Amino acid sequence: MTETQVPPTPVNGREERGESLPARVLRVALTERVVLLAVLLVVVVVWFRVLGDGGYLVAPYDVRYLGNALESMVPFALLAMAELFVIVSGRGGIDLSVGAIVSLAGMVFGLTVGVWGWPLVPSVVACIAVGALLGAVNGALVAYLRFPALIATLATYYAYSSIALVSNANAPISTPPVVALHGLTRNVDLPLLPPVPLHVFTILLPCAVLAWVLLSRSTYGRSLYAVGTNDVAAGYATQRVTRTRFSAYVISGLLSGVVALVTVAQFASARPDAGTVGNGMALPAITVAVLGGVAIQGGIGRVGGVLVAALLVTWLNAGMLLAFEGSEGSRYQLLALGLVLVLSALLNTLALRRYGRLS
Amino acid sequence: MSHSSPHVLLELRGVQKRYGGVRALRGADFEVLAGEVHALVGENGAGKSTLIKIVSGAEVADEGTVEVDGVPLAGGSTQAAMAAGIATVYQEPHLFGELTVAENVFLGRELRAGGRVDWTAQRTRVGELLAQIGLDPEIGDVRVADLPVAEQQLVSIAKAFAHSAKVLILDEPSAILTDREIEVLFGVVRNLRAAGVGIVYISHRLDELAHISDRVTVMRDGAVVATRPTRELSVRQVAELMVGHELSTRATDRAVPAGDPVLDVAGLGRTGAFEGLDLQVRPAEVVALYGLVGSGTSPIARALYGITPADTGAVRVDGREVRLRSPQDAAAAGIAMLPGDRKQQGVFANKSIAFNISSAHLRHLARLGFWFDRAKERSIALDFLKRIAIKAPSPDTVVGALSGGNQQKVVLARQLVRAPRVLLLEEPTQGVDVGAKEEIHRLVLELADGGSAVLVISTDLPEVLQIADRVLVVRRGAVVREFGRGASQADVLAAAAGDDGGAPAVVGARADGGDR
Amino acid sequence: MTATATAPKQVRRRRRVRAIEGQELALIAVTGLLWVVLSVATDTFLTSGNIQNILFTVAPIALIGIGMTAVIVTAGIDVSVGSQAAVVMVVIALLVRDAGLAFVPALAVAIVSGLVLGAVNGLLVAYGGIHPIIVTFGTLNIYRFVALQIFGSEQVAGVPGTFSPIGGGAEGRLLGVPTAWWLTLVLAAGMWAYMRFWATGRHLYAVGGDALAARLAGVRVRRRQISAYVLTGACVGLAACVLIGSGGLVQQNVGSGLELRVIAAVVIGGTSIIGGRGTVLGTLLGALLVGTVTSAVTLLSWPSELTQLFIGLFILVAVGVDLLRERRRSTR
Is there a domain that residue C312 lies in?
A: yes
Identify the residue among A16, A215, A219, A294 best suited for mutation to test binding to B, counting B beta carbons within 10 A and taking the highest: A219
For chain B, say whether A359 makes contact (Cβ under 8 Å). Answer: no
* Segments forming the whole domain that contains residue C320: 23-35+43-331
For chain A, say whether C32 makes contact (Cβ under 8 Å). Answer: no
Is there a domain that residue C3 lies in?
A: no
- C273 vs A156: CB contact, 8 Å cut-off? no
Read off the pTM.
Answer: 0.84
Over 80: is that where the pLDDT of C160 sits? Answer: yes
Over 60: is that where the pLDDT of B250 sits? Answer: no
Residues 244-273 (C) with a CB less than 8 A from some CB of A: 253, 256, 260, 263-264, 267, 273
- B146 vs C206: CB contact, 8 Å cut-off? no
Over 90: is that where the pLDDT of C218 sits? Answer: no
- B307 vs A225: CB contact, 8 Å cut-off? no
Q: Give the mean model confidence (pLDDT) for residues B458-464.
A: 82
Over 80: is that where the pLDDT of B4 sits? Answer: no
pLDDT at C122: 96
- B99 vs C209: CB contact, 8 Å cut-off? yes
Q: Give the mean model confidence (pLDDT) for residues C203-231.
A: 89
Confidence of residue A157 (pLDDT cuts 50, 70, 90): very high
pLDDT digit string (tens) for B44-84? 678 888 898 888 887 888 889 999 988 888 777 777 888 88
Tell me which chains share at least 3 CB pairs under 8 Å with chain A.
B, C
Over 60: is that where the pLDDT of C13 sits? Answer: no
- A296 vs C134: CB contact, 8 Å cut-off? yes
pLDDT digit string (tens) for C219-247? 888 999 999 999 999 999 999 999 998 88
pLDDT digit string (tens) for B161-197? 777 788 988 887 766 666 667 777 888 888 888 888 8
- A238 vs B331: CB contact, 8 Å cut-off? yes
pLDDT digit string (tens) for B421-431? 999 999 898 77
Over 90: is that where the pLDDT of C276 sits? Answer: no
Note whether B444 and B286 are within 8 A (CB): yes
DSSP-assigned letters across all residues of C153-195 = TS-EEEE-GGGGGGSSSGGGEETTEEHHHHHHHHHHHHHHHHH
pLDDT at C195: 92
Note whether C251 and C85 are within 8 A (CB): no
Taken in order A56, A62, A68, A73, the sign of the CA dihedral is positive
Confidence of residue B138 (pLDDT cuts 50, 70, 90): confident
Select the highest-mean-pLDDT range: A348-352, B434-438, B453-457, C198-202.
B453-457
pLDDT at C3: 36
Taking every pair of C-alpha atoms in chain C, what is the biggest distance, in angstroms?
A: 91
pLDDT at B514: 35
Contact list, A220 vs chain B (CB under 8 Å): 370
Over 50: is that where the pLDDT of B413 sits? Answer: yes
Residues 333-352 (A) with a CB less than 8 A from some CB of B: 352
Identify the residue among B86, B96, B123, B154 best suited for mutation to test binding to C, counting C beta carbons within 10 A and taking the highest: B96
Residues 202-241 (C) with a CB less than 8 A from some CB of B: 202-203, 205-206, 209-210, 213-214, 216-219
Note whether B129 and B87 are within 8 A (CB): no
Percent of chain B with pLDDT strictly greater than 70: 89
Alpha helices (H) along B195-309: 206-212, 235-243, 297-304
Among A104-113, B479-488, C105-114, C137-146, whose mean pLDDT is lowest? B479-488
Q: Give the mean model confidence (pLDDT) for residues A204-208.
A: 94
Among B447-461, C39-53, C259-273, C316-330, whose mean pLDDT is lowest? C316-330
Is there a domain that residue C8 lies in?
A: no
Among A64-68, A146-150, B204-208, C122-126, whose mean pLDDT is lowest? B204-208
Strands (E), B126-272: 167-171, 198-202, 215-220, 223-229, 263-270
State the Cα–Cα distance between residues B223 and B220, nearest whole angstrom.
5
Contact list, B96 vs chain C (CB under 8 Å): 205-206, 209-210, 213-214, 276
Tell me which chains share at least 3 CB pairs under 8 Å with chain B.
A, C
Domain locations along chain A: 62-353
pLDDT at B174: 67
Over 50: is that where the pLDDT of B28 sits? Answer: yes
Over 80: is that where the pLDDT of B502 sits? Answer: no
N-term to C-term CA, chain C: 29
Among A110-124, A198-212, A285-299, A325-339, whose mean pLDDT is lowest? A325-339
State the Cα–Cα distance between residues B39 and B321, nearest whole angstrom.
47
The CATH number given to whatever domain includes residue C66 is: 1.10.3470
Identify the residue among C121, C141, C146, C258 best suited for mutation to test binding to A, counting A beta carbons within 10 A and taking the highest: C141
pLDDT at A356: 59
Over 80: is that where the pLDDT of C293 sits? Answer: yes
Over 80: is that where the pLDDT of A332 sits? Answer: yes
- A11 vs B363: CB contact, 8 Å cut-off? no
pLDDT at B252: 56
Identify the residue among A101, A154, A157 best suited for mutation to test binding to C, counting C beta carbons within 10 A and taking the highest: A154
How far does B85 lie from chain A, in Å, by closest CA? 24
- Residue A101 has a CB neighbour count (10 Å cut-off) of 38
pLDDT at B208: 81
Candidates B96, B33, B26, B84; CA nearest to B56 is: B84
Residues 6+ apart with CB under 8 A from A79: A98, A99, A102, A255, A256, A259, A281, A282, A284, A285, A288
For chain A, say whether C316 makes contact (Cβ under 8 Å). Answer: yes
Is there a domain that residue C7 lies in?
A: no
Confidence of residue B245 (pLDDT cuts 50, 70, 90): low
pLDDT at C60: 95
Is there a domain that residue C200 lies in?
A: yes
pLDDT at C1: 35
Q: Give the mean model confidence (pLDDT) for residues B324-329.
A: 94
Candidates B381, B356, B486; CA nearest to A233 is: B356
Identify the residue among A238, A348, A349 best suited for mutation to test binding to B, counting B beta carbons within 10 A and taking the highest: A238
Contact list, B92 vs chain A (CB under 8 Å): 1
More confident residue, C222 or C214: C222
- Closest-CA residue of C relative to B506 is C3
- C303 vs A170: CB contact, 8 Å cut-off? yes
For chain A, say whether C100 makes contact (Cβ under 8 Å). Answer: no
Print burial letters for B481-490: b (CB count within 10 Å at least 16), e (below 16).
bebeeebebb
Residues 6+ apart with CB under 8 A from C43: none
CB nearest C17 (choices: B107, B112, B141):
B141
Among A162-171, B252-261, B461-470, C148-157, whose mean pLDDT is lowest? B252-261
- A151 vs C212: CB contact, 8 Å cut-off? no
pLDDT at B280: 92
pLDDT at C8: 34
Q: Give the mean model confidence (pLDDT) for residues C122-143.
A: 90
The number of domains in chain C is 1
Q: Give the mean model confidence (pLDDT) for residues A226-235.
A: 95
Is there a domain that residue C175 lies in?
A: yes
Select the highest-mean-pLDDT range: A14-23, B295-304, C279-288.
C279-288
pLDDT at B499: 63
pLDDT digit string (tens) for B93-115? 678 888 888 888 888 778 877 76
Pairing of strands B198-202, B36-42: parallel
Exposed / middle / buried, residue A183 (Cβ in 10 Å: 0-12, 13-18, 19+): exposed
Is there a domain that residue C10 lies in?
A: no
Over 80: is that where the pLDDT of A191 sits? Answer: no
pLDDT at C247: 80
State the Cα–Cα distance between residues B273 and B515, nearest whole angstrom.
7
Q: Give the mean model confidence (pLDDT) for residues C95-108.
A: 93
Select the highest-mean-pLDDT range: A316-330, B1-15, B351-365, B454-468.
B351-365
Percent of chain A with pLDDT strictly greater than 70: 92
For chain A, say whether C321 makes contact (Cβ under 8 Å). Answer: no
Note whether A256 and A107 are within 8 A (CB): no
More confident residue, B292 or C60: C60
Q: Give the mean model confidence (pLDDT) for residues A133-159.
A: 94
Over 80: is that where the pLDDT of C199 sits? Answer: yes
Q: Which CATH class is domain A62-353?
A: mainly alpha
As for the ipTM of the complex, it is 0.85
pLDDT at A261: 93
pLDDT, averaged across chain B: 83
**DSSP label of B4:** S
Over 80: is that where the pLDDT of B500 sits? Answer: no
pLDDT at B358: 93
